[in-house]
A and B are shown apart, each in its own frame.
Chain A
Amino acid sequence: MSMKQTIEEKLGTRFEPEWLEVLDESHNHNVPPGAESHFRVTLVSDGFAEQNLLARHRAINATLADELAGQVHALAIHAYTPQEWQARNGTPESPPCLGGGKADRG
C-alpha cells in the first residue's frame, strides 16, 4: 500500500469525512523520487464543528503519529466543517521548497 493510501485509510476510518483528499507533494521537495515524504490533506468533517483549528490539526496529527514519526516529513492540513468548506471553494497551494532539511527530518 502506498503512503497516500495508508493516510487515506487512517483518516477515512477516524473521521468519516464528507470530503477527503490526500496529495503526495514529495516531488516538489528536495527528496529522492518516490520518497513519499511531503503530503497535503484536505479533510471536511462534521466532527470539527466543536473544535478550534489547533484541536483539529492535533487530531489529524495524532491519527498519523506513526507516519509522522517515520517517513512523513511534512503534512499540510486543511480541516473544515462542511459549512466552512462550502464557503471557500478549495484550498491554497503548498509553497515551493527552499532546500532546507535536505536528507533529514523535520
Chain B
Amino acid sequence: MDVQQRIREHIASQPVVIFMKGSPDTPMCGFSARTAEALKSCGRPFAWVDVLADPEIRSELPRYADWPTFPQIYIDGELVGGCDITLQLHEQGELEKMVQQAADTAA
C-alpha cells in the first residue's frame, strides 16, 4: 500500500484520528501533547499515528491535507485543524460534542 493509501486508510477507518509527534501518553512535542490531552478529555477512545515513527506519513501528510504542520486532527474523515483550532473548539465546548457524536455514530 502506498503512503497516500495508508493515510486515507487511517482517516477513513477511524472516527477520530490524531497524527502527532509521539503518542498520547508519551508526546514528543508540546503542541501534540496539548491536543492529545484535549481529545482525551472528551471521554471517547481515539486513534493516533506517531509521525516520528512513520517518516513517510510525516513527509506526505502536509501535502495530502494542504496543512503544513503537526499535529493534525481528523473527525469523520475531515480535517478539523491543528493544535490551536482543536484547543479553541475545546474551550468552546464544541470538541467534546464532535468527538462524542463521531465515536457514538461509528460504534
Contact = CB atoms under 8 A, between A and B. Distances in A.
Interface residues of B, number: 26
Contact of B88 (A53, A69, A97, A106): A53
A94 interface: yes
B106 interface: no
Q: Which 8 A-B pairs have the closest CB atoms?
A: A100-B28, A95-B30, A100-B21, A68-B68, A53-B85, A100-B29, A95-B34, A96-B30
Contacts of A54: 79-81, 85
B31 A95 contact: yes
Nearest to A73: B69
A12 interface: no
Contacts of A22: none
Interface of A: 53-54, 57-58, 61, 65, 68-69, 74-78, 92, 94-101, 106
B87 interface: yes
B64 interface: no
B22 A100 contact: yes
Contact of B83 (A58, A76, A99, A100): A76
A97 B29 CA distance: 6
Interface centre among B34, B68, B69 (most CB of A within 10 A): B68
